[in-house]
Amino acid sequence: MLWVAAAGIWLGGMGVEWIGVHSGWPFGVYHYSDILGFGVYEVPVTMGFAWIAVVCNAVLIGKNSSDWQGRLIRALKVGFWTVVLDLCLDPVAFDRNFWAWEGEGGFYGVPLDNYISWFIIGALLSLLLPNLQNNRRISRQGTFLYQMILLLFGSMGFQGGLTGSGIAAAVGILLAEGSYRYAYRHQIKVV
């Protein structure tokens, strides 16, 4: 079942990126460079896998409920975590020429529509995943991986003079840790 969900996220991610590259909607007007490798209709294949990583890691932060209300709450959380990540990732990727945004404005040249779209698309793609009952160990690993991705792009942001991106990473790392600790507060020993 997870493979089917991952394939759905890959297809959904590639599809929305294809629409974005060819129409400028929903993210804004942008195009990819050759840095990310082989592409299908001007969208690097790696972008589909990136969507899998982003959505799946965001799902693993904290506990999940198995009822439909829990899935909707999980989708909203995933939308939030994808935006936090993109506040770090997108300005750095733009600065490093992974892709190019047309026009001015937004956050370090990244249009605000992009972040709104990440929230909505991340939330919707998370609904493809089955109800996962995270245990503490899996949630810890997912949260840690998410934090390391933020650390990577945040440090690249600071190094490239994108201070806001670096600050977003630091805040995101702390928020993810807080979310994990809150979810498992009765199982974590405080020193």
Q: Is 169 exposed, middle or buried (0-12, 13-18, 19+ CB in 10 A)?
A: buried
Distances (CA, A) of 61 to 36, 148, 157, 182: 27, 13, 23, 11
Residue 188 has pLDDT above 80, yes or no: no
Tokens at 146, concatenated:
């998410």
Q: Extract the runs of DSSP E, i.e. beta strands, from the chain.
A: 30-32, 39-40, 43-44, 99-101
Nearest to 89 by CA among 167, 13, 3, 153: 153
pLDDT at 185: 86
Q: Strand, helix or coil at 158?
A: helix
pLDDT digits (tens, 9 = 90+) for 81-115: 999 999 999 999 999 999 999 988 899 999 999 99
Angstrom distance (rounded) from CA 37 to CA 7: 20
Domain ranges of the chain: 2-183
Q: Tell me if 108 sits within 8 A of 41, measured CB to CB.
A: no
Peptide bond into 26 cis (omega under 30): yes
pLDDT at 183: 87
Q: Tell me if 150 sits within 8 A of 169, measured CB to CB.
A: yes
pLDDT digits (tens, 9 = 90+) for 107-157: 999 999 999 999 999 999 999 998 877 788 999 999 999 999 999 999 999
pLDDT digits (tens, 9 = 90+) for 5-64: 999 999 999 999 999 999 999 999 999 999 999 999 999 999 999 999 999 999 999 777
Angstrom distance (rounded) from CA 109 to CA 70: 35
